Amino acid sequence: LVDIIIDGRKRTVKKGTTILEVAKSLGIKIPTLCYHDDLCIAGICRICLVEVVGMETLQASCSYSIERAIEVKTHSHKIRKARRHILDLMLANHVGECYSCIRNGNCELQDLAEDYGITEYPFGHPNKNVKPVDCSSMSIVRDMDKCILCRRCVRSCVDLQEVGVFGVKERGDRSYISTFGDRNMENVICINCGQCVNRCPTGALHEKDQTEEVWKALEDKNKHVVIQTAPAPRAGIGELFGVAPGKSLTLEMNTGLKYCGFDMVFDTCFSADLTIIEEGLELLLRLKKNLTEGGDEALPQFTSCSPGWVKYLEHFNPKYIDNLSTAKSPQQMFGSIIKTYYCEKNNIDPKDVVTVALMPCTAKKFEAGREEMCDSGYRDIDYGLTTRELGKMFKEVGLDLPNLEKSEFDDPFGGISGSGVIFGATGGVMESGIRTIYELVTGREIESVFEAGEIKVVRGFDKIKYAELTIDRVGEVPELLKSHFEDFEFLKGVTLKVAVCHGTANAKRVLENIEAGGEFSECHFIEFMACPGGCLGGGGQPIPTNEEIRKARARAIYGEDRDSEIKKSYKNEAVIELYGKFLTDGPGGHKAHKLLHTKYIE
Ligand code: HC1
């Protein structure tokens, strides 16, 4: 332990603690830019300079590790002057037209300029772009004239996600953030996860904004505009309206969407349940083939609902593509069901329908645009909005979201399903899958194995989670699966082994383990999500996002599951009706395959 006096307040801390950490614990605000809770320390922007008494030069508090007793001042004339100087230099290179910037009102540089009372630019301030804005990606826009070289994007992409799109080129005042070969974003190995966007302090990186296209559709009298809302945005959108993280505004959001003019508001949880049926059946069929027919179906089966993860596999380990479930993501399933079943049922010409997906994710925009995603005969999904974009739309029409009245989701796709909602947190797809698979196969309630049906072992933020569940008995084959199985005897006594991981760096570890024949190669089913924490930590969620906020959003999601009446996907009435009235050859049947499954072609 070691003593530190900071602004006259004495503390004893563990050796190696940084000055910034001590200041935070005392509620002392030191400005930061390159620092981010989720990332390793860079210590490069120097805005967090403080005085360590006895040292001649100012020290970066984020990277100063306390190894001996010290006294620190976090504000003084010298510090203020230095920080202002740094800000002035940054603003001299930051092409700033704050009014037209997507981050206006949520920019860390703008906030600092306000805090430090910047009223003039001693080193100048360019207001015309000199570098071309890269809009080539379907998800992410790069505007390097707004870059302040904090390298958060580099650390997000290289360290956190282990993808490695960005790097630093040149040195000194010529340095800049580059992509491989300075290519544009559509020609690099970007997985579109947007983790860089979520950590960018300025408007240098942002999602491809589709709000204008959506407004245009809403204003077109000849269009029937339908939106589906994913599980994670409801647990995050309140943050854009000053609500503390951890409160779901699902039903208030429905009211807001109707106010904006959406004709129908549906819950992606419906198609998450549909995914569980199709993906769960696929797993059972793979197991049956391998266990009884000497088949060599690819196992473990990998989940396929996170488009960033799918792209990661395509870029870095395509030999495992056959392990990916062929089930489309809930977003895409819903799109094709809207443009077929829903249109048929309501006598609407699908060409007049515009499908919008509200997602916490920037990669969902990419997924919507994938060439193969048009099994309905039309684009399954026309536009993807992030949580941030919807927040902007609500603000534009003056909505006070937290205080709106509540509205239910529209029929015919039913109310909230607990299994669907937990898709938004890491482990949620697995938990939903286990709930349904166990009950369909054994005929017993999952509550007989896990208290309240909550499979806690796959919850939480551990990097990689592992669970086993022995099928100790089998029941009658339920009606829903009779066309595929005569009995489930082949599963009797089988111990299902599953794993869950989130963030592509962890995915890489699991793939390496499988490659080396490690314990994960023995798994039957693995959930992969590209973003840390799962979708609730998606690149399109409110900024900031950090561990504490992810945990709060997870609490909101699991709370919604606890309060829901339907907790198991196969019990979702709307799903049962869909199979009864439209996908009449049942799960895994010809029609379901055409509309709900895909083959990745890149
Ligand atoms: Fe997700 Fe999914 S949970 S991928 O994290 O399977 O984005 O929220 O909508 O499609 O349901 C995202 C969230 C989302 C899909 C579902």
Q: Is the pLDDT of residue 189 over 70?
A: yes
First vs last C-alpha separation in the chain? 55
Cβ atoms 147, 204 nearer than 8 A: yes
Q: Is the pLDDT of residue 602 over 70?
A: no
Average pLDDT, the chain: 97
Kindly give the residue spans of alpha helices, DSSP state H, lying in 177-249: 195-199, 211-219, 231-234
Query: For position 455, what pLDDT does the model report?
Result: 98
Ligand 1 in contact with 361 (CB < 6 A)? yes
Residues 122-146, mean pLDDT to the nearest whole number: 95
Residues 149-156, mean pLDDT to the nearest whole number: 98
Range name among 114-128, 300-314, 537-551 with the lowest pLDDT average = 114-128
Ligand 1 atom with the shortest distance to the CA of 271: 11
Considering the domain boundaries, does residue 554 fall inside one? yes
State the CATH number of the domain containing residue 27.
Answer: 3.10.20.740
Ligand 1 in contact with 272 (CB < 6 A)? yes
Residues 43-55, mean pLDDT to the nearest whole number: 97
Q: In 10 A of CB 387, how many CB atoms?
A: 26
Considering the domain boundaries, does residue 222 fall inside one? no
Query: For position 355, what pLDDT does the model report?
Result: 98
Structure tokens at 60: 């970066």
Q: Is 95 found in the same domain as 71? A: no
Residues 42-64, mean pLDDT to the nearest whole number: 98
Give CA–CA dist 88/82, Å, rounded.
10
Considering the domain boundaries, does residue 475 fall inside one? yes
Ligand 1 in contact with 391 (CB < 6 A)? no
Q: Is 465 found in the same domain as 588? A: yes
Ligand 1 in contact with 18 (CB < 6 A)? no
The pairing of beta strand 464-470 with beta strand 495-502: antiparallel
Residues 439-467, mean pLDDT to the nearest whole number: 98
Ligand 1 atom with the shortest distance to the CA of 540: 7
Cβ atoms 526, 520 nearer than 8 A: yes
Q: Is the pLDDT of residue 17 over 90?
A: yes
Ligand 1 atom with the shortest distance to the CA of 536: 8
Residues 439-449, mean pLDDT to the nearest whole number: 97
Q: Which of 89-98, 123-132, 201-210, 592-601 has the highest mean pLDDT?
A: 201-210
The alpha carbon of 67 and the centre of ligand 1 are apart by a number of angstroms equal to: 45
Query: For position 415, what pLDDT does the model report?
Result: 78
Residues 18-42, mean pLDDT to the nearest whole number: 98
Ligand 1 atom with the shortest distance to the CA of 361: 7
The alpha carbon of 231 and the centre of ligand 1 are apart by a number of angstroms equal to: 6
Q: Is 553 found in the same domain as 439? A: yes
Considering the domain boundaries, does residue 336 fall inside one? no
Q: Is 531 found in the same domain as 582? A: yes
Q: Is 585 found in the same domain as 490? A: yes
Query: For position 601, what pLDDT does the model report?
Result: 59
Going by alpha carbons, the residue nearest to atom 6 of ligand 1 is 305
Sign of CA dihedral 207, 395, 225, 424: positive
Residues 515-523, mean pLDDT to the nearest whole number: 98
Amino acid identity of 390? L
Ligand 1 in contact with 330 (CB < 6 A)? yes
The alpha carbon of 364 and the centre of ligand 1 are apart by a number of angstroms equal to: 9
State the CATH number of the domain containing residue 192.
Answer: 3.30.70.20
Last residue of a domain, one of 182, 207, 232: 207
Query: For position 237, what pLDDT does the model report?
Result: 98
Considering the domain boundaries, does residue 21 fall inside one? yes
Kindly give the residue spans of alpha helices, DSSP state H, lying in 402-495: 418-421, 428-442
Question: Of 389, 371, 102, which is closest to residue 227 (Cα–Cα)?
Answer: 389
Q: Is 568 found in the same domain as 521? A: yes
Going by alpha carbons, the residue nearest to atom 12 of ligand 1 is 535
* Boundaries of domain holding 50: 2-75
Query: For position 275, what pLDDT does the model report?
Result: 98
Q: Is 94 found in the same domain as 71? A: no
State the CATH number of the domain containing residue 449.
Answer: 3.40.950.10
Ligand 1 in contact with 237 (CB < 6 A)? no
Q: Is the pLDDT of residue 516 over 90?
A: yes
Q: Is 91 found in the same domain as 67? A: no
The alpha carbon of 420 and the centre of ligand 1 are apart by a number of angstroms equal to: 9
Domains in the chain, number: 3
558-588: burial string, b at 16+ Cβ within 10 Å, e else: bebbeebebbbbbbbebbeebbeebbeebbb
Contacts for 337-342: CB closer than 8 Å, 24+ residues apart: 337/271, 337/274, 337/578, 337/582, 337/595, 337/596, 338/226, 338/228, 338/266, 338/376, 339/376, 339/377, 339/378, 339/380, 340/376, 340/377, 340/582, 340/595, 341/578, 341/581, 341/582, 342/226, 342/412
Pocket perturbation via mutation, ligand 1, pick of 266, 267, 331, 529 by most ligand atoms within 8 A of CB: 331
Considering the domain boundaries, does residue 346 fall inside one? no
Can you give the pTM of this predicted structure? 0.97
The pLDDT tens digits for 233-275 are 999 999 999 999 999 999 999 999 999 999 999 999 999 999 9
How large is the ipTM?
0.93
Ligand 1 atom with the shortest distance to the CA of 420: 11
The pLDDT tens digits for 348-362 are 999 999 999 999 999
Q: Is 285 found in the same domain as 161? A: no
Considering the domain boundaries, does residue 406 fall inside one? no
Q: Is 290 found in the same domain as 426? A: yes
Give CA–CA dist 265/228, Å, rounded.
6
Q: In 10 A of CB 267, how many CB atoms?
A: 28
Residues 561-566, mean pLDDT to the nearest whole number: 96
The alpha carbon of 421 and the centre of ligand 1 are apart by a number of angstroms equal to: 9
Q: What 3-state DSSP class applies to 169?
A: strand
Q: Is 118 found in the same domain as 43? A: no
* Residue 3 main-chain phi, psi, to 5 deg: -90, 145
Q: Is the pLDDT of residue 396 over 70?
A: yes
Considering the domain boundaries, does residue 255 fall inside one? no
Last residue of a domain, one of 207, 224, 255: 207
Last residue of a domain, one of 48, 75, 102: 75
DSSP 338: I
Q: Is the pLDDT of residue 504 over 90?
A: yes
Ligand 1 in contact with 91 (CB < 6 A)? no
DSSP 385: E
Give CA–CA dist 78/82, Å, rounded.
6
User: Would you place residue 414 in the very low, low, confident or very high pLDDT band (cuts 50, 70, 90)?
Assistant: confident
Q: Which residues are catalytic?
A: 279, 282, 305, 325, 364, 367, 372, 535
Q: Is 427 found in the same domain as 458? A: yes
DSSP 156: I
